[in-house]
């Protein structure tokens, strides 16, 4: 985590040092939200939109077998069997 002291210009601008921009992956064109509070100011990058809607993802993951009944989905899981097979593997 980088720390820097910067100076406010006469036009109210600040320069975010390159080390911090690189660490945060902030490139030219990155939109930043400025939030003021009693303790100071917080800068946050606006999340990039992917251009996809949730409805675009329907059917993305294919499942070829018949659906499992609810009773099968709700039954307890035996983690012991998985753990024993994992322990038996050579490391």
**Containing structural domain, residue 76:** 62-86
Report the predicted TM-score, pTM, of the whole model to 2 decimal places: 0.50
pLDDT, tens digit (0-9, with 9 covering 90-100), for 29-85? 999 999 999 999 999 999 887 777 888 888 788 878 888 899 988 888 877 777 776
Determine, yes or no, domain membership for 49: no
| pLDDT > 60? residue 91 | no
**What is the number of structural domains in the chain?**
1
Query: What pLDDT score does 49 carry?
Result: 78
Cα separation of 67 and 27, whole Å?
45
**Which stretches within 4-69 are classed as H helix?**
18-24
Determine, yes or no, domain membership for 66: yes
Determine, yes or no, domain membership for 27: no
Determine, yes or no, domain membership for 12: no
Determine, yes or no, domain membership for 39: no
pLDDT, tens digit (0-9, with 9 covering 90-100), for 1-37? 888 899 999 999 999 999 999 999 999 999 999 999 9
């Amino acid at each position: 985590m980088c720390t820097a002291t910067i100076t406010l210009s006469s036009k109210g601008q600040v320069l975010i040092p390159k080390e911090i921009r690189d660490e945060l992956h902030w490139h030219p064109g990155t939109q930043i939200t400025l939030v003021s509070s009693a303790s100071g100011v917080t800068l946050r990058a606006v999340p990039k939109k992917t251009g996809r809607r949730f409805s675009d993802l329907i059917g993305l993951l294919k499942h070829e077998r018949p659906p499992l009944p609810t009773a099968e989905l709700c039954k307890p899981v035996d983690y012991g069997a998985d753990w024993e097979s994992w322990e038996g593997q050579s490391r």
